[in-house]
């Protein structure tokens, strides 16, 4: 076992009007790393998402803050995230989506093997297709499948943490 985590998450969907929806979110997670207890941490996440229709798409904007307080400050960080997304209904339960997210992380203490503190800038690009097979009239319960792809480009002040990654994913989701 590499790691384990236990946490809680609360979010609320608030319909300001038929054309503006807000989702404040708060989560807490306690992380344990079996082979490196210096990374054991408390993780707190706060975010606010907004969704609104414009030019035939539902647009989303999000801003978030995360604080990871690890046993060793080398692994503690503050992270700001900003996201924009677009979703378009294609009919017959199909929709397409895309998004761009920027994550900015500042670590508290320089790692033992480096002479500077780590700072990361990570760009995420997503594109996908979703199919809703079934949902209740109030749209609270649903069964949906998603097929998507994500490209990640990470720049770090420590070259070891620079990378590019491409992922193709699928999911089956039951919402209730």
- Cα gap 102→120, rounded to integer Å: 10
Task: Locate 81 and state its tokens.
Answer: 């995230």
* Bridge partner residues of 57 (DSSP): 54
pLDDT band at 1 (very low <50, low <70, confident <90, very high): confident
pLDDT at res. 153:
98
Q: What is the pTM of this model?
A: 0.90
pLDDT at res. 5:
97
Do 47 and 56 touch, CB atoms closer than 8 A? Answer: no
């Amino acid at each position: 076992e590499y790691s384990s985590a236990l946490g809680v998450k609360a979010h609320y969907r608030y319909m300001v009007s038929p054309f503006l929806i807000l989702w404040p979110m708060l989560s807490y997670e306690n992380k344990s790393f079996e082979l490196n207890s210096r990374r054991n941490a408390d993780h707190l996440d706060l975010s606010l998402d907004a969704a609104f229709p414009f030019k035939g798409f539902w647009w989303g904007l999000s801003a978030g803050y995360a604080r990871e307080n690890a046993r060793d400050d080398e692994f503690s960080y503050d992270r700001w995230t900003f996201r924009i997304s677009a979703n378009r209904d294609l009919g017959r339960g199909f929709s397409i989506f895309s998004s761009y997210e920027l994550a900015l992380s500042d670590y508290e203490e320089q790692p033992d093997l480096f002479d500077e503190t780590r700072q990361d800038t990570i760009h995420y690009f997503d594109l996908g297709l979703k199919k809703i097979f079934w949902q209740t009239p109030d749209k609270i319960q649903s069964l949906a499948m998603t097929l998507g792809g994500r490209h990640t480009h990470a720049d770090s002040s420590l070259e070891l943490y620079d990378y590019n990654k491409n992922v193709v994913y699928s999911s089956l989701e039951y919402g209730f």
